[in-house]
Structure 1
Amino acid sequence: MLSIFQKKEFLIDHLSGITDIHNHILPGIDDGAANVNETIGLLEKFNNHGINKFIATPHVMNDYYPNTPDSINAALDTVKESLLSKSDLADSQISVGAEYMMDQSFLDLLEKGELLTLKDNLVLVEMSYFQAPINLNEILFTLQTKGYKPVLAHPERYAYFHNKDLRKYEDLKSRGCHFQVNALSLSSHYGTSMQQIAYKLIEQGMIDFIGSDTHRIQHIEKLSSIQLKKKQLLAISKIVEKTKETF
């Protein structure tokens, strides 16, 4: 029988030392941090939990967030300049990638060779929450013929892929997709169906990496409240370790 005094396991405690490979901490260029003060607040909050390495991944989304390597690196420079006066954040390490919406504009960027990668040839990509691109297979094929490896952000959040046998996810994996789960999906933050699929993908060994997808400080606060059962912790620990090893 379990003791009522058994130690509770919180997800955030097992993320210490990880590189957060998906976040929106750069100021003023998408729907994440609005300004550099908010960025600093996010970094301080993360630092309290032993997370100080980041790959910032602002949205690149046609007319909504038409970011470029120049705009993204300019925002990074602003953050780095502000960090010079923050001795408590001296250990913070920030590089940049991007979170690319897979649409026609993305194919245009791909043809021009203007993609920012997470590391080496790993590219973070996403889809609309309403429907998958009609040419999704073509996009994935083109990415890989160009030498890139797609990392699909938050696969658990695409409700049109939800089914009992995970067939649609298996098809994506067979096409060379890596999967990155959102840490917040391990709570009911996005809804219980997203939470259930997240755990199902984890249990089936289909998740490769974990990231926070943090946009605002409330997201980090909510991360702090996520408790894990022993079985869940064992599976998620493997994903955390793979993320650490890769990045």
Structure 2
Amino acid sequence: MISFFQKKTFFVDLLEDFTDFHNHLLPGIDDGAATPEASLEMIEKFGEFGVKRFVCTPHVMGEYYPNTRETIGKALEKLKSVLPLEIDISAAGEYMMDQHLMDSLEEGEKMLPIIGNNVLVEMSYFQAPINLKEILFKILTSGQKPILAHPERYAYYHSKNLEKYKDLKGRGCSFQMNMLSLTPHYGSGMQKAANQLLEAGMIDFISSDAHRLEHLEKLEKIKLNKKQVQLLEPVIEKSKALFN
């Protein structure tokens, strides 16, 4: 008998030995996990997906989340004190591209990298920074490589021809998509943009951007069709290769 139902793959089944390098696991320093216990719950859930390696990326955002190497380092040590030894965990930052970042770069400060010279950056959801080109140029000339977090979430960049995204690519940005953008979690427009960028081959990496346990419970339910698997597999493999 011919089946008219296409077999679905659970997204999390693709994540064995994956390193999640965009998340808000560090306790008490941004809008992510509030306590080490909440962090541990999330890490245990990740473990069910085969994910046991993490780079924590708390927001670094002017006066709103004024995180530094010191605050991030202290939060990491606090979290490590409650974790099993088999968990491989480090920390970087998710840097808002704003005047605060520009000033610190002007003063010769280095951003905390995810790995090597790769740094995670983001923009406001309301508008791109006026001096975006200058900030990106400053990051690159400082010897670091920007990975733009969740490009699909910047509604002011959405368009059919992807020209604004192509411009960012031409300025040295890699793109990291959020896993939950495969669903309408952030809105149907963001899901559509994620699919458009995937189909155009413009997504380099994928990560969770998980802030709380509920986000991982949503990830667990994502089912993919054959086309989605084909589009996502090379992105997942490239994300893994970043740490190998």
Query: Under TM normalisation by the shorter chain, which class is it?
Result: over 0.9
Unaligned 5+ segments in structure 1 are 84-88
Per-residue deviation, residues 138-160 of structure 1 (Å, max 9, x unmatched): 11111111111100000000000
In structure 1, the partner of 2:87 is 92
- Within a 5 Å distance, the mapping from 1:1-247 to structure 2 comes to 3=3, 7-83=7-83, 89-111=84-106, 112-247=108-243
Q: Distance in 2 between matches of 1:2 and 1:35?
A: 52
User: Where in structure 1 do 4 or more consecutive aligned residues deviate above 4 Å?
Assistant: none
Question: Distance between the aligned counterparts of 1:117 and 1:154, measured in 2?
Answer: 17
Q: Are the equivalent residues in 2 in contact too, given 1:188–1:194 (CA < 8 A)?
A: yes
Q: Give SS of 1:130's match.
A: coil
Question: For the Cα contact (< 8 Å) 1:69–1:114, is it kept in 2?
Answer: no
Q: How high is the TM-score relative to the length of structure 1?
A: 0.95
- 1:60, 1:99 within 8 Å by CA — same for their partners in 2? yes
TM-score (normalizing by structure 2): 0.96
Q: The residue matched to 1:151 in structure 2 has which SS?
A: strand
Give 1:90 deviation, angstroms: 3.4
> Would the alpha carbon gap of residues 161 and 193 (structure 1) be closer, same or farther in structure 2, given more than 3 Å must change?
same
CA contact (8 A) 1:150 1:178 kept: yes
Flag structure 2 segments of 5+ consecutive residues without an equivalent. Answer: none
Letter in 2 for 1:103: D
User: What displacement does 1:188 show?
Assistant: 0.6
Shift of 1:5: 6.2
The percentage of counterpart residues that share the same residue type is: 56
| Residue 8 (structure 1) shift | 2.0
Is this contact kept in 1: 2:8–2:226, CA < 8 A? no
| Count of aligned positions | 242
Q: CA deviation at 1:17?
A: 1.1
SS of alignment partner, residue 185 of structure 2: coil
* 1:122-145 alpha-carbon deviations (Å, 9 max, x no partner): 110000000000000111111111
